[in-house]
Chain A
Amino acid sequence: MKKLLSAIFTIASSACVFAQEAPTSPLEFSGSVDTYFKYDFAKQPNITTSFASDHNSVSLGMIDLVLKKKTGKASFVGEISFGPRGQTQSIPDEAANGSSFHIQNLYVNYDFTDQFSMTAGYMGTFIGYEVISPVGNFNYSTSYLFTSGPFQNAGIKATYKFSDKVSLMAGLFNDWNVYSASRGVSSIGGQLMVSPVEGWTAYLNVLSGLSGYGYGTIEDLTTSYQITDKFKLGLNAANYDVDNDGGGYAGVALYPQYAVADAITLGLRGEYFKTKDVGTTAGTAFTSVTLTANIKSGGLTFIPEVRLDHNKDLPFVKSNGMSVPNAGQFSLAAVYAF
């Protein structure tokens, strides 16, 4: 026992001495919880984009917990979520095996210099405007572009920052949304970040490789511009082609937001989205308009939202079961971030 205690003391002392050599940030701890009520005007779930799926129910989003620490040039992020939004609705293949949680981020990073860093692990995808965590989105419901694109990428990536205005990332990744590769490290991806003027940032993204749709290439532009202290404009445009006539999609979404008061911001999401033909099966096109308000009080954000979708191929239903071209829903979400 004495030897064991001595050993523990020695190891702890060594760790302490080692830690003193490099600047250490305190352990960062943050997270969020979210819940929502949604009422579909057809009195049944109708719009099939991700999350906020239950009709006439006060339902759960997820509890999300994030840990981060940086010691010298090395850092890690671990983010785990529990609940439908971060679990079964995000990563169906894991849910099929009965997972009780979903890792959102789990990676280590090393800053070789102020300009050059490398990151390895499981990371939120670099593709697209919207994310899984409701804290990172303005709208509570999600776009077709988000729902159809990757959620996460496991892999290794290198980032070089030329200046505050330009950086370049390149990496090798597994197939989409899986903790371990199903067919080896099968994708290559890159991101060019440019910030032409203060407040305007644009990301040009490419990801080529394996996904649930097959092998293909996705090109994506994600940009946002804080034009004044009250007005912000975001844009996401993407094109995805799956090899051998396997389909894919293309779309564009615009996100204007205006702060009408200190704690209240109104935002609109207008989206056009089209799935591509798969063999002889024709693709279909959606248009969607979502009006959202963010009402903030401390860490709490209330998100009332009205959404109207249209598709001339009648994928939606009315309350009597008839196929119709239009669908609508109202939701009220509460998101608390800490």
Chain B
Amino acid sequence: MKHFLFLLLVLLSAKLWAQQKSFPLDDNGKYIYYKVVDSQVISKDSLMLRAKAFISKHAKFIVTENVSDSSIAAKGRTVIDKTVLVASHPSGELKYNFNFETRPGKYRFWFNNFEFIPYQRDRYGNYVATTNIGTPLERSPSKLAAAEWKAILASAYLKTEKIAADFQKYLATDRKPKAKKKEEQISTKKW
């Protein structure tokens, strides 16, 4: 029983902690997701190549705007889901700016200028954007829309955190083409 209560307490704490995660504000009072990563073993050029490769790999969702020898500016979007029991459906789209800069021994990246575009079910049962004009995530919603906006903010943070984790993992991984493994052959002539 004690163990059960302890487990319940841990789970509840984890849930509350997860709910509290939200974007900090930058110097302009806008939401930002900002990371500086120490990377002593990977050269600056390799980091740039890997960052470009990450964007190319996700070209449907991130498009490069500007590139220099040590920085990339891009615009991206990701779909936010609404969960109903175990199933879910898209509730909207999060648009963002993505910036990446590298220096010897470290790099930094950040997401900002977040905008939300709500989706609505169309006549064919598909979820599509209701407008092309995004609403900045920093807006103060009315009382009627407050709960829904809070859920959108939480989902936006989790999605951004996931993209950031994928990006960091991608930059930390060497993707040299592996030698093709020879397929195993079994001869039935000799036995």
Contacts and interface: CB of A to CB of B under 8 A. Distances in A.
Interface of A: 26-30, 66, 68, 77-79, 104-105, 107, 123-126, 131, 133, 135-136, 198-199, 226, 228-229, 232, 261-263, 295-299, 337-338
Contacts, number: 81
B120 interface: yes
Given A105-B125, A135-B121, A29 B84 contact: yes
Interface in B11-40: none
A123 B121 CA distance: 14
B123 A68 contact: no
A68 B81 CA distance: 14
B123 A262 contact: no
Interface of B: 82, 84-85, 87-90, 120-127, 131-133, 135, 141-142, 144-145, 147-148
A199 B131 contact: yes
A78 B135 CA distance: 31
Contacts of A262: 141-142, 144-145
Contact of A30 (B89, B142, B147): B89
B148 A298 contact: yes
Nearest to A123: B124
Contacts of B85: 29
Given A27-B87, A68-B126, A226-B132, A298 B147 contact: yes
Nearest to B132: A199
Given A28-B88, A198-B132, A338-B84, A263 B125 contact: no
27 contacts: A26-B88, A28-B89, A28-B127, A29-B84, A30-B84, A30-B89, A68-B125, A77-B125, A104-B125, A105-B125, A107-B124, A123-B124, A125-B123, A133-B121, A135-B121, A198-B132, A199-B133, A232-B131, A262-B144, A262-B145, A263-B144, A295-B144, A297-B145, A297-B148, A298-B148, A337-B121, A338-B82
B88 A229 contact: no
Tell me if B's interface is mostly helix, strand, loop or mixed.
mixed
B87 A77 contact: no
Contacts of A297: 144-145, 148
A229 B125 contact: no
Given A226-B133, A261-B142, A296-B144, A124 B88 contact: no
Contact of B87 (A28, A78, A226, A263): A28
Contacts of A299: 148
Contacts of A105: 124-125
Contact of B121 (A27, A125, A136, A295): A136
Contacts of A126: 123
B87 A66 contact: no
Nearest to B85: A29
A268 B180 CA distance: 65
Contacts of B144: 262-263, 295-297
A61 B60 CA distance: 39
